[in-house]
Amino acid sequence: MITIENLNHSFFIGKKNEENEITVLKDVSLTIKQGEIATVVGRSGSGKSTLLNIISGFLTSTSGRIIVKDIDVTNFNEKRWAKFRLEHLGFIFQSFQLIPSLTTFENIELPLTLKGIHPKERVSLVNAMLEEVGLQNHGSHYPNELSGGQQQRVSIARALITNPSIILADEPTGSLDSETEKEILRLIKKLNREKGITFFIITHDDNVASISSRTFQLHDGVLSETGGVLYEAK
């Protein structure tokens, strides 16, 4: 589902020379199978977001190869990435990234509009999704009228609405209290079990790793696999 081979990434502060080079990812390789919940745990600054941004096509790696859904995406240009993301990937962020001027319903509907889905079909898909994430009574609320947990549910619904096979999440519970975190982790696990969606989650939080089938650790840009199968991914 996701294969990364010998990925290296450096940032340069100022001129592109050795003195100014910060190497953030060092020869990172991993393979994640369909239906897994894979977690990369690492301290702040260890390169987690950089890794996720490269897998999402928001950042181009210095070297290495990335294959997602059997497609070599390493040299995709921005246009192809945009199309690929809309077709295959969903995103969840720590800060939810909802559009404040749109209601819950409209935020979830947006990717369908971008995909050119007919309005009638959009309404039925969004209504079903609201049920799925337990927000059937909050469709007309704006983000600032929702709790953090509810906002994260909206963002999960928005990620899911296009039926992606992979959801990439950067610190999905980083802004939530521990009770709400548990609730969101239960939802992720349910979606994985019932819909077979693959999750790739990066986090500094060990609790998140507790729901994963595979765990990795990123330490100063070096990735190692730390955990076995905690439960059988389908």
- Measured from the CB of residue 53, what is the shortest distance to ligand ADP in angstroms? 7
Q: Distance between CA atoms of 48 and 61, rounded to whole angstroms? A: 13
State the pairing for strand pair 63-68/37-41: unpaired
* Secondary structure (3-state) at 160: helix
* Residue that has been written with the tokens 């995103």 in this structure: 91
Residue 108: enclosing H or E segment and its boundaries? helix 104-114
The residues with which 47 forms a beta bridge, in sequence order, are: none
- Interface residue with ligand ADP, options 6, 22, 78, 234 (CB under 6 A): 22
Helix-, strand-, coil-residue percentages of the chain, each rounded to 5? 35, 25, 35
Residue 46 or 150 having the CB closest to ligand ADP: 46
Token pair recorded at residue 209: 């790793």
Determine, following the binding rule CB under 5 A, whether residue 49 of this chain makes contact with Mg ion: yes
Task: Work out what residue 203 binds among ligand ADP, Mg ion, none; the CB cut-off runs from 5 to 8 Å by kind.
Answer: none
Q: How many residues bind Mg ion (CB under 5 A)?
A: 2
Determine, following the binding rule CB under 6 A, whether residue 219 of this chain makes contact with ligand ADP: no
Token pair recorded at residue 164: 């992606």
**Residue showing the smallest CB distance to Mg ion in the complex:** 49
- Interface residue with ligand ADP, options 6, 11, 136, 207 (CB under 6 A): 11
Residue 150's nearest CA partner among 103, 118, 112, 193 is 103
Contact, 129 vs 157, CB < 8 A?
A: yes
* CA angle 179–227–43, rounded 5-degree value: 65
Residue 49 or 173 having the CB closest to ligand ADP: 49
Determine, following the binding rule CB under 5 A, whether residue 56 of this chain makes contact with Mg ion: no
Query: For Mg ion, which stretch binds (CB under 5 A), given 43-51, 131-139, 191-199, 212-220?
Result: 43-51
Residue 49 or 152 having the CB closest to Mg ion: 49
> Binding pattern to ligand ADP, positions 26-65, x when CB under 6 A?
----------------x-xxxxxxx---------------
Residues that bind ligand ADP in the complex, under the rule CB under 6 A: 11, 22, 24, 42, 44-50
Residues that bind Mg ion in the complex, under the rule CB under 5 A: 48-49
